[in-house]
């Protein structure tokens, strides 16, 4: 699950209100994200540098680390999370993303050379016009690229993002694949120029970049982007050129994503432009770029078209287990950034027409829509339907567990008669006659005089009949005895008893006490 | 003897000093002096002095003078006829143990003729176990006692119920497996049938692809999954089913738009140690789809393998508990209902559900339970409804839904028994004593 670090106060400002930690956690819980950790900017740096000293925590920026679902690329930065939560809270309408009105002739172009198909076949591009960055949004922009690189781009193997200051470049652009020695430029953070193979060597010791070298290292041709003046924009997926590096002052951003997976490249580009078009002079408007392949095929990017899905109301209701009206469903979906409208289908049924925006690449099937309805409705508001099931009889289950445990300690189970003679439960046990005894009125012999009030006679008689059995003899019985009981309708009830007996050269009291009573059942002895 | 039968006695008495004893025997010095003075006439002081002991003379003079018994001067003569030796009488009384008045005591004490003496003693009585001779208590009744007949006179030492005693010889079941047994019983009582899970080696196809988990997904990385070198690939897969799975990943169908990537057969062929028992569930559901449909409830509790860093709460191998219900017309409400039933049997009846993400379920819910001891909500499991992209290519009817949930066996066991390091419970670094001490598991029995 990816984690996004956002400044708490900046987030709350974007949400238009301040929350207590508990209130915010609750909001996250309902929406489906999680506040994983609260820390400070300086604490993160200290941790990275393995420093121990604590500074003055009070004037440090509080950072919220928020865990977001792995398939929600639109939530990988503060702006994305804030927008989703504002729409969820009905503080904002779903933004409508559009392409700026540029004629095809005046559109910037990216020409793709055929050699690129051997190493990195696809490229998609877009322009963010009249954008204003401040330090926080600039950092957010860089961090989002990082997060996308780590997640959907699969560590730049599938897609690599390059962002450039358009005002330092001149279109049209070309996307080519050349032998490394033919590529020469000043990369980001450097002051001198390198050829591409020199750069490969140079970055072998760079902690951050060395893990991407393998992606193109062994290819005879390296991918590279140029502008009209043969300025290198970038050497994907390794590094951008220093010439076109974006700064806080950049007003026009050119974004290019080269890729081996076109679907993911489009998702990545859409994620970047939709989120950051918030900072453009014409909010939510993106300037398109035409990508022209060598065989003449051309495509205009970004593709911001919404995906149309028709979902029946009954499917939604019958799968969640609620009975919502169409209007309720559309209003719930709008809170999830899915523009929805009802339309009548035949048979007095309703369909919900959903326009899935370019930010919701995770919506593949009506079940995704149905889930969003359930989330907005609140999982914890859905009535539960109890299934048929059976419950165990606690006393019998417990008795069986006890029996097993005692047998495992070397005791042999016996099963003795419930009926016995009256002296067997009195004088023969050196006890007074128990007045709570159930007495049989018509016993055939003395063996059937009473119903046992204790398990003692049975186990003692068993020993009596097994006098020659090798000692020590350890036996036990778990069973019911009967005692008179005023609370019962019939006046008598069964009580479950355990009796264990040790017979040997000594009394063996410790064996009974330790084995049977305390060790296994963690009970305490009361007035034995 | 019990404490209540012993009485402390303290007596304060007066005894005569050496000087006191002398006067008691010989008479007080003032009387001795008086008697040394003639009844009539007088005696010179010097002669008087010669007649008496020097100490007696000195004290006698001053006392007799004080009492006005004699006229002191160069000549000493009696002033009175007779005197009583009160001091001697008092001293004799003290010697005989008689009590005196406060003033009498004071005067004798002042003259250092008596000193106080404390006498401490105890009053004891015969207790019930009084015996003129000391008896040794027996610790046990033995066969010899019975044969000899001395059991009748024996006195037994009282049992010390706090003593640890000899540990019993016996067998013990493993705590984790005791919990497993209880969970199995819970599932059976809820009408669930156990799935056969005795296949640790699985193909990526059944573990991931059949579950609509895309290739190029983080979980399929070697840092989360153990891939096998031997046998490295699966030898066979059901080809027409594989075709349908490939299509739904690449381009969708069944109402889905699919993932839009190039699905690779080589990826699906890779063998691994299963990362979840959901791989078994997918095989069971496929088998179910091949017959005329009948609803089923399945469960399993068995080992899964994750290529993750090992620490106090994480292992590379652990047990997953999985339950699933497959029937027509199941809803999210049914899932919530079955989860309430299941978890209430584990003693968790306060549940809350949070939206989550699994590649193969939609909707997905994380299950939270309120832990009274910690005073907070803790995650106890994960659940959801399997995606149509997973069920429909299998051939299950469209109105059949499958609801499922899973949790680990280790976590509830650790919470139940208060164990905070999982390696104390599971594996070879276990403390055998812990297994032996572990009480019976009453999970599921209210």
| pLDDT per position as a tens digit, A40-88 | 877 777 776 666 665 555 567 899 999 999 999 999 999 999 999 999 9
Residues 6+ apart with CB under 8 A from B112: B17, B19, B20
Is the CB of residue A268 less than 8 Å away from at least one CB of chain B? no
Mutation for A interface: B250, B253, B328, B354, most A CBs within 10 A? B354
Which of B407, B443, B433, B371 lies closest to B177 in space, CA to CA? B443
Place of tokens 């209100």: A17
Q: Work out the average pLDDT over A471-494.
A: 93
Peptide bond into A302 cis (omega under 30): yes
Span A104-117, average pLDDT:
92
Q: In what order do the strands lie in the sheet with A34-40?
A: A3-7, A62-67, A34-40
Q: What are phi and psi of B292, to 5 degrees?
A: -55, 140
Neighbours of A364 (CB within 10 A): 26
Question: CA B239, CA A95: separation in Å to the nearest integer?
Answer: 45
* CA-based nearest residue to B204, from B175, B173, B171, B245: B245
Model ipTM value: 0.85
SS (H, E, C) A89-100: CCCCCCCCCEEC
Q: What are phi and psi for residue A470, nearest 5 degrees?
A: -55, 135
Asked whether A84 and A74 are in contact (CB, 8 A), the reply is: yes
Common-topology check for domains A3-89 and A307-381: yes
Residue B30, pLDDT score? 84
Chain B CB contacts of A158 below 8 Å: 216
- Average pLDDT across chain A, whole number: 90
Nearest chain B Cα to A27, which residue? B354
How many contacts (CB atoms, under 8 Å) link A and B? Answer: 180
Beta-sheet pairing, B70-71 with B75-78: antiparallel
In angstroms, the separation between the Cα of residue A72 and the nearest Cα of chain B is: 9
Cα within 13 Å of Cα(A498), Cβ side = 19
Q: Do the chains contact at A379 and B171, CB–CB below 8 Å? A: no
User: What is the tens place of the pLDDT at every residue in B182-212?
Assistant: 999 999 999 999 999 999 999 999 999 999 9
Supply the pLDDT for residue A528. Answer: 25
What pLDDT is recorded for position A518?
61
- Contact between chains at B331 and A398 (C-beta distance less than 8 A): no
Whether residue A392 and residue B444 make contact (CB cut-off 8 A), yes or no, is: yes
pLDDT of A54 reads 59
User: Within 10 Å of residue B169's Cβ, how many Cβ atoms?
Assistant: 9
Residue A456 has pLDDT above 50, yes or no: yes
Q: Apex CA A205: angle with CA A199 and CA A209, to 5°?
A: 65
Cβ–Cβ below 8 Å for A507 and B141:
yes
- A-chain residues near B363 (CB < 8 A): 320, 367, 370-371, 374-375, 379
User: Which CATH number is associated with domain A307-381?
Assistant: 3.30.56.10
* Percentage of chain A modeled with pLDDT above 90: 76
Query: SS3 of A123, please?
Result: strand
Please choose, from the candidates A315, A329, A343, the residue with its C-alpha nearest in 3D space to the C-alpha of residue A375.
A329
- Specify the 3-state DSSP secondary structure of A343: strand
Enclosing H/E stretch for A310:
strand A307-312
Q: Could you write out the DSSP letters of every residue in A39-52?
A: EEHHHHHHHHTT--
What mean pLDDT is predicted for residues A13-39?
92
Q: By the 8 A CB rule, do B362 and A367 touch?
A: yes
Q: Which residues contact B439 (CB under 8 A, 6 or more apart)?
A: A520, A521, A522
Residue A1: what pLDDT?
Answer: 81
Q: Do A379 and B446 touch (CB under 8 A)?
A: no
Considering only the C-alpha atoms of chain B, give the largest distance between any 2 of them, rounded to a whole number of Å: 160
| Segments of chain B scoring below 50 in pLDDT | 1
Q: And the tokens for A81?
A: 């999370």
Of A130, A74, A79, A80, the residue nearest A100 (C-alpha): A130
Alpha carbon distances (Å) from B55 to A302, A433, B62, B265: 135, 89, 11, 133
Domains in chain A: boundaries = 3-89, 98-301, 307-381, 394-518
Query: Which of B125 and A363 is assigned the larger pLDDT?
Result: A363
Instruction: Find chain B residues with C-beta within 8 A of A377's C-beta.
Output: none
β A412-413/A473-484 pair status: parallel
**Pick from A236, A240, A271, A297: nearest CA to A110:** A297
Q: How many residues are present in chain B?
A: 446
Helices (H), A359-492: 366-377, 394-408, 456-464
Say whether B216 and A158 touch across the interface (CB within 8 A): yes
Residue of chain B whose Cα is closest to the Cα of A411: B170
Beta-bridge partners for A482: A494
> Which residues are within 8 A (CB) of A196 and not within 5 positions of it... i.e. 6 or more apart?
A178, A180, A181, A182, A183, A184, A222, A224, A235
Answer whether B385 touches A (CB < 8 Å).
Answer: yes
CA dist., res. A399 & res. A520, Å (int): 13
Across the interface, whether the CB atoms of B365 and A379 are under 8 A apart is answered yes
Terminal Cα-to-Cα distance of chain B (whole angstroms): 49
Question: Which residues numbered 117-176 in A keep a CB inside 8 Å of some CB on B?
Answer: 151, 154, 158
Q: What is the CA radius of gyration of chain B?
A: 52
Structure tokens at A483: 């005692």
Three-state SS letters, chain B? CCHHHCEEEEEEEEEECHHHHHHHHHCCHHHHHHHHCCCCCEEEHHHHHHHCCHHHHHHHHHHHHHHCCEECCCEEEECCCCCCCHHHHHHHHHHCCCCCCHHHHHHHHHCCCEEEEEEEEEECCCCCCCCCCCCCCECCCEHHHHHHCHHHCCCECCCCCCCCCCCCCCCCCCHHHHHHHHHHHHHHHCCCEECCCCCCEEEHHHHCHHHCCCCCCHHHCCCCCCECCCCCECCCCCHHHHHHHHHHHHCCECCECCCCCCCCHHHHHEEEECCCCHHHHHHHHHHHHCCCCCCEEEEEEEEEECCCCCCCCCCCEEEEEEEEEEEECCCHHHHHHHHHHHHHHCCCCCEEEEECCECCEEEEEEEEEEECCCCEEEEEEEEEEECHHHHHHHCCCCCEEEEEEEEECHHHHHHHHCCCCHHHCCCCCCCHHHHHHCCCCCCCCC
From B393, B401, B207, select the one nearest B296 (Cα to Cα). Answer: B401
Q: Name the residue with tokens 């009535």.
A: A383
Structure confidence at residue A524 (pLDDT): 35
Residue B44 neighbours by CB distance under 10 Å: 12
In the block, tokens 């979840």 appear at B276
Render pLDDT for B47-94 as a digit per residue (tens, 0 to 9): 888 888 888 888 888 887 788 888 888 888 888 888 888 888 888 888
Q: Which residues of B touch A154 (CB under 8 A)?
A: 216
CA distances in angstroms from A305 to A130, A270, B97, B221, listed in the order given:
23, 10, 124, 32
A399 at the B interface (CB within 8 A)?
no
Could you give the CA distance from residue B176 to residue B157 in angstroms, rounded to a whole number?
A: 41
β-pairing, B361-371 vs B351-355, is antiparallel
Q: Do A365 and B365 touch (CB under 8 A)?
A: no
pLDDT digits (tens, 9 = 90+) for A438-453: 999 999 999 999 999 9
Q: Is A312 on the interface with B (CB under 8 A)?
A: no
Instruction: Output the pLDDT for position A527.
Output: 27
Q: Does domain A394-518 have CATH number 3.30.420.40?
A: no
Query: Under 8 Å CB-to-CB from B106, ≥6 apart: which residues?
Result: none
Largest CA distance in chain A: 119
Give the count of beta carbons closer than 10 Å to the beta carbon of residue B202.
24
CATH topology of domain A98-301: Phenylalanyl-tRNA Synthetase; Chain B, domain 3 (3.50.40)
Decide if B260 touches A, using CB distance below 8 A: yes
Residue of A385, A395, A412, A471 to mutate, interface with B, max B Cβ within 10 Å: A385
| Distance in Å, alpha carbon of B418 to nearest chain A alpha carbon | 15
Q: What is the pTM of this model?
A: 0.79
Can you tell me the mean pLDDT for A511-520?
Answer: 70
Give the A window 66-125 contacts with B, CB below 8 Å.
69-72
What are the structural domains, with CATH classification, of chain B?
3-122 (1.10.10), 175-199+275-437 (3.30.930.10)
Task: Say which residues have a Cβ less than 8 Å from residue A369's Cβ, sequence separation at least 6.
Answer: A309, A311, A316, A333, A338, A352, A354, A363
- Does the pLDDT at position A278 exceed 50? yes
Task: Indicate if the alpha-carbon torsion angle A33, A35, A40, A45 is positive or negative.
Answer: negative
A287 within 8 A of A99, measured Cβ to Cβ: yes
- Please name the CATH architecture into which domain A3-89 falls: 2-Layer Sandwich (3.30)
Report the chain A residue with the minimal C-alpha distance to residue B221: A154
Give the model's pLDDT for residue A517: 67
Residues of chain A with C-beta less than 8 angstroms from the C-beta of B191: 387-390
* Residue entry with tokens 């096998």: B228
Q: Do A409 and B340 touch (CB under 8 A)?
A: no
Residues in chain B closer than 8 A to A72 (CB atoms): 357
B203 bridge partner residues: B271
Are B437 and B424 in contact, with CB atoms under 8 Å apart? no
């Amino acid at each position: 699950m990816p984690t996004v670090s956002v400044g708490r106060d900046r987030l709350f400002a974007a949400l238009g209100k301040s929350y207590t930690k508990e209130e915010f956690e609750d909001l996250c819980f309902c929406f489906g994200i999680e506040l994983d950790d609260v820390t400070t900017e300086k604490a993160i740096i200290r941790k990275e540098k393995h420093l121990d000293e604590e500074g003055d925590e009070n004037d440090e920026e509080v950072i919220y680390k928020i865990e977001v679902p792995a398939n929600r690329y639109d939530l990988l930065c503060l702006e994305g999370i804030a927008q989703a939560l504002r729409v969820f809270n009905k503080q904002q309408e779903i933004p409508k993303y559009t392409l700026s009105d540029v004629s095809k002739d005046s559109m910037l172009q990216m020409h793709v050379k055929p050699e690129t198909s051997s190493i990195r076949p696809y490229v998609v591009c877009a322009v963010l016009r009249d954008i204003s960055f401040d330090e926080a949004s600039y950092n957010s922009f860089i961090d989002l690229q990082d997060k996308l690189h780590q997640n959907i781009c699969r560590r730049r193997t599938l897609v690599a993002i390059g962002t450039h200051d358009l005002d330092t470049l001149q279109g049209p652009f070309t996307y080519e694949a050349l032998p490394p020695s033919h590529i020469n430029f000043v990369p980001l953070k450097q002051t001198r120029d390198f050829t591409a193979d020199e750069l490969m060597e140079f970055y072998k010791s760079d902690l951050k970049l060395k893990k991407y070298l393998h992606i193109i290292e062994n290819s005879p041709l390296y991918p590279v982007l140029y502008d009209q003046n043969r300025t290198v924009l970038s050497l994907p997926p390794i590094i951008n050129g220093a010439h076109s590096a974006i700064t806080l002052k950049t007003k026009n951003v050119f974004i290019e994503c080269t890729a081996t997976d076109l679907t993911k490249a489009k998702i990545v580009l859409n994620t970047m432009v939709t989120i950051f078009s918030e900072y453009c002079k014409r909010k939510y408007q993106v300037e398109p770029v035409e990508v022209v392949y060598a065989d003449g095929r051309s495509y205009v990017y970004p593709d911001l078209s919404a995906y149309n899905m028709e979902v029946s109301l009954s499917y939604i209701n019958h799968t969640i287990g609620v009975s919502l009206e169409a209007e309720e469903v559309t209003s719930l979906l709008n809170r999830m950034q899915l523009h929805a409208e009802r339309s009548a289908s035949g048979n007095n049924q309703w369909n919900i027409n959903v326009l899935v925006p370019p930010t919701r690449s995770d919506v593949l099937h009506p079940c995704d829509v149905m889930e969003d309805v359930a989330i907005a409705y609140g999982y914890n508001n859905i009535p539960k339907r109890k299934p048929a099931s059976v419950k165990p009889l606690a006393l019998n289950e417990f008795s069986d567990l006890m029996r097993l445990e005692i047998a495992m300690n070397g005791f042999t189970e016996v099963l003795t008669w419930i009926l016995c003679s009256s002296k067997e439960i009195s004088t023969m046990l050196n006890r007074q006659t128990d007045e709570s005894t159930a007495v049989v009125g018509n016993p055939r012999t003395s063996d059937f005089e009473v119903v046992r009030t204790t398990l003692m006679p049975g186990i003692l008689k068993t020993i009596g009949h097994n006098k020659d059995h090798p000692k020590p003899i350890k036996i036990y019985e778990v069973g019911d005895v009967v005692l008179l009981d005023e609370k019962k309708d019939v006046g008598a009830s069964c009580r479950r008893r355990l009796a264990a007996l040790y017979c040997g050269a000594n009394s063996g009291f410790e064996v009974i006490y330790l084995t049977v009573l305390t060790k296994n059942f963690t009970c305490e002895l009361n007035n034995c | 003897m019990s404490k209540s039968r012993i009485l402390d006695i303290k007596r304060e008495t007066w005894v005569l000093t050496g000087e006191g004893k002398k006067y008691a025997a010989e008479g007080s010095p003032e009387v001795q002096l008086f008697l040394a003075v003639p009844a009539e006439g007088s005696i010179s002081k010097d002669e008087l002095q010669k007649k008496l002991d020097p100490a007696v003379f000195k004290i006698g003079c001053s006392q007799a003078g004080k009492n006005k018994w004699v006229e002191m001067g160069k000549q000493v003569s009696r002033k009175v006829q007779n005197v009583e030796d009160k001091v001697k009488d008092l001293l004799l009384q003290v010697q005989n143990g008689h009590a005196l008045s406060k003033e009498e005591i004071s005067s004798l004490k002042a003259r250092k003729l008596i000193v106080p003496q404390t006498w401490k003693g105890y009053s004891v009585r015969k207790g019930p176990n009084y015996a003129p001779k000391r008896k040794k208590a027996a610790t046990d009744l033995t066969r010899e006692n019975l044969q000899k007949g001395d059991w009748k006179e024996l006195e037994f030492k009282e049992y010390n119920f706090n003593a640890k005693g000899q540990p019993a010889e016996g067998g013990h079941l493993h705590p984790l497996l005791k919990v497993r047994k209880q969970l199995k019983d819970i599932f059976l009582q809820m009408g669930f049938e156990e799935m056969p899970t005795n296949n640790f080696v699985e193909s990526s196809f059944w573990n991931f692809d059949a579950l609509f988990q895309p290739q190029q997904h983080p979980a399929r990385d070697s840092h989360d999954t153990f891939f096998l070198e031997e046998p490295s690939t699966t030898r066979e897969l059901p080809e027409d089913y594989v075709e349908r799975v490939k299509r739904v990943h690449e381009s969708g169908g069944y109402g889905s738009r699919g993932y839009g990537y190039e699905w690779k057969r080589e990826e699906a062929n890779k063998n691994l140690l299963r990362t979840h028992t959901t791989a078994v569930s997918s095989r069971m559901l496929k088998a179910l789809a091949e017959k005329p449909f009948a609803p089923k409830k399945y469960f399993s509790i068995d080992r899964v393998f994750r290529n993750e860093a090992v620490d106090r709460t994480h292992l590379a191998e652990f047990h997953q508990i999985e339950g699933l219900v497959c029937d027509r017309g199941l809803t999210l409400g049914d899932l919530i209902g079955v989860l309430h039933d299941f978890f209430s049997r584990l003693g968790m009846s306060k549940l809350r559900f949070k939206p989550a993400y699994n590649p193969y379920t939609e909707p997905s819910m994380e299950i939270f339970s309120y832990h009274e001891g910690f005073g907070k909500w803790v995650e106890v499991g994960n659940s959801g409804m399997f995606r149509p992209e997973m069920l429909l290519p299998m051939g299950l009817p469209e109105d059949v839904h499958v609801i499922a949930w899973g949790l680990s066996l280790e976590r509830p066991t650790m919470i139940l028994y208060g164990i905070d390091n999982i390696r104390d419970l599971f594996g070879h670094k276990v403390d055998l004593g812990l297994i032996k001490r572990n009480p019976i598991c009453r999970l599921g029995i209210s």
